[in-house]
Amino acid sequence: MSRELLIKLREQGGLSRPEFRQLLAAHEPGLQAEAAALATALREQHYGNRVFIRGLLEISNYCRQDCFYCGIRCSNRKVQRYRLSPEQILECCEMGYPLGFRTFVLQSGEDPGYSDELISDLVREIKLRHPDCAVTLSLGEKNFSAYKAFREAGADRYLLRHETADAAHFGRLHPLKQSLQNRMRCLQDLRSLGYQVGSGFMVGSPFQSPQTLAEDLYFLSEFKPEMVGIGPFLPHRDTVFANAKPGDMNLTLFLLSILRLMLPKVLLPATTALGSIAPEGREKGVLAGANVIMPNLSPPEARDKYMIYNNKLRTGAEGAEGLRLLAEKMRAIGCEIAVDRGDYPDA
Ligand code: 5AD
């Protein structure tokens, strides 16, 4: 019965909300294993054994937003704030290129200290120095003209998780001045500008329910993002949700498989949060259908300060040695790290 739902999801690219709820309610180890087998077969069909790497640059932890779950929310006065200079960011790219990185992801809080012009200039410079690389931005909610300027400067992709597709749930995770409506406006703007767009959500965020999760899956089945980032919610001690329980690894893995079945070509990272919650979390993610890993290329001082949750995975995958280790781990599960931009097929 539930296996039929997995097949139906694969054949139709979506399910009704009640069917998604039914599938989630049926989650147990046997079904999870079946979902993973179907998902990895699809991943192999579209991508072979190739896993794409993205060099993650955490360029600033200043943030004007106050998301209740996030360690770098503006009301957390304990954070040592930092902002990398364009020169420092370019240096990180210079270091990453010879290691095989062909995508650089510039991620930050919503930092008013970077003007739209500065970001645009930076994107232009990275593309000039590395014409064969993709630039992905993950800088939060901006207005249309900012997204347009970044795109015209050469940015290829943009990551902006919707966090939850249920407006009431969104309201319990964010202060009043943030809204699901504006988040959705941003995603539409990004799509209309021709970005490859990434969205996603945390698994096990406070007040999440099978209903809200079904809504997330339904939204993603309709929006069809080119990339989807999901990872377990992990509490941060200086946030509203300090004592909330972390998200479940197996539910995350099951959802990764569901996403692969639903969006067969999606670029699906085994996220840092997944790697942080369990040893070999990222390998397990790839074995559930993920095909992207995002090693951290930020300078070590920045990495320590970009604490969106406690006990964040701190691998040295940035160095040649660290990347060699990652490649070995991927080989051990039958995969190969690709030196490639790793675009969405036919993007
Ligand atoms: N646990 C897990 N993920 C988190 N994020 C923010 N805070 C946490 C947390 N405490 C995720 C959000 C955001 C992305 C950059 O990190 O989904 O979009």
Would the pLDDT of 66 be above 60? yes
Q: Check if 273 has its Cβ closer than 6 Å to any atom of ligand 1.
A: yes
Helix locations, the chain, DSSP H: 2-12, 17-25, 29-47, 86-96, 116-129, 144-152, 167-173, 180-192, 210-223, 249-262, 272-277, 281-287, 300-305, 320-332
Q: Which atom of ligand 1 is nearest to the CA of 235?
A: 10
Residue the block writes with tokens 């200043």: 62
Residue 281 lies in a domain: yes
For ligand 1, atom 11, name the residue with the nearest CA: 202
347 within a domain of the structure (yes/no): no
The position carrying tokens 């377990």 is: 232
Report yes or no on 213 lying in a domain: yes
Please give the Cα distance from 94 to 223 (Å, whole number): 35
Q: What's residue 195's pLDDT?
A: 98
Mean pLDDT of the chain: 96
| pTM (2 d.p.) | 0.97
**Structural domain tally of the chain?**
1
Selection from 269, 245, 236 nearest residue 255 by Cα: 269
pLDDT-based confidence at residue 319 (cuts at 50, 70, 90) = low
- pLDDT, position 313: 77
| Residue from 202, 227, 234 to probe ligand 1 pocket by mutation (most atoms less than 8 Å from CB) | 202
* Cα-to-centroid distance, 98 and ligand 1 (Å): 30
In a domain, 90, yes or no: yes
pLDDT at residue 122 in the model: 98
- Residue 343 within any structural domain of the chain: no
Distance CA(89)–CA(118), nearest Å, equals 12
197, part of any domain: yes
Looking from the CA of residue 201, the nearest atom of ligand 1 is 17
Ligand 1 centroid from CA 321, angstroms: 28
Within a 13 Å sphere around the CA of 60, how many CA atoms are in the beta-carbon half?
20
Question: Region 273-289: what's the mean pLDDT?
Answer: 94
Are 307 and 266 contacting, i.e. CB atoms less than 8 angstroms apart? no
* CA 131 to ligand 1 centroid distance, Å: 31
Q: Of 56, 122, 131, 62, which Cα lies nearest the Cα of 86?
A: 122
The answer to whether residue 97 sits within a structural domain is yes
Residues 295 and 101: their CA atoms lie apart, in Å, by 10
**pLDDT over 90, % of the chain:** 91
- CATH no. for residue 78? 3.20.20.70
Can you give the residue range of the structural domain that contains 100?
Answer: 2-338
What residues does 51 pair with on adjacent strands?
A: 337
Per-residue pLDDT at 301:
85
Query: Is there a domain that residue 346 lies in?
Result: no
